[in-house]
Amino acid sequence: MNDNEKIILEYIKEHGSINNKEAREILNLSAPEVRKIFKNLQYKNLIQSVGSNRNRKYHLINKRGS
């Protein structure tokens, strides 16, 4: 896991969710770069998206029994 992914996960833990704009601001990256990070975290089954387009937010996936 890279530093940007760790920063996003920590932000979600502290705030409950994150959107693309918030991620761009804290990471100082472009929208496509942030989408790639979100896609990687979803592929790793760490976050899930809720909503669509400009209303999309990302939350941690609850893992029970771990």
In order along its 66 residues, the chain shows pLDDT tens digits of 999 999 999 999 999 999 999 999 999 999 999 999 999 999 999 999 999 998 999 999 987 644
Residue-by-residue DSSP string for 2-48 = -HHHHHHHHHHHHHS-B-HHHHHHHHT--HHHHHHHHHHHHHTTSEE
pLDDT for the residue numbered 64: 60
pLDDT for the residue numbered 33: 98
Asked whether residue 65 is assigned to any structural domain, the reply reads no
Place of tokens 């809720």: 50
Q: What is the CATH number of the domain that holds 48?
A: 1.10.10.10
pTM, two decimals, is 0.90
Rounded CA gap, 18 and 8, in Å? 8
Residue 16, Ramachandran bin (φ over 0: left; ψ between -120 and 50: alpha; else beta) = left
Asked whether residue 44 is assigned to any structural domain, the reply reads yes
Asked whether residue 10 is assigned to any structural domain, the reply reads yes
Counting the structural domains of the chain, the total is 1
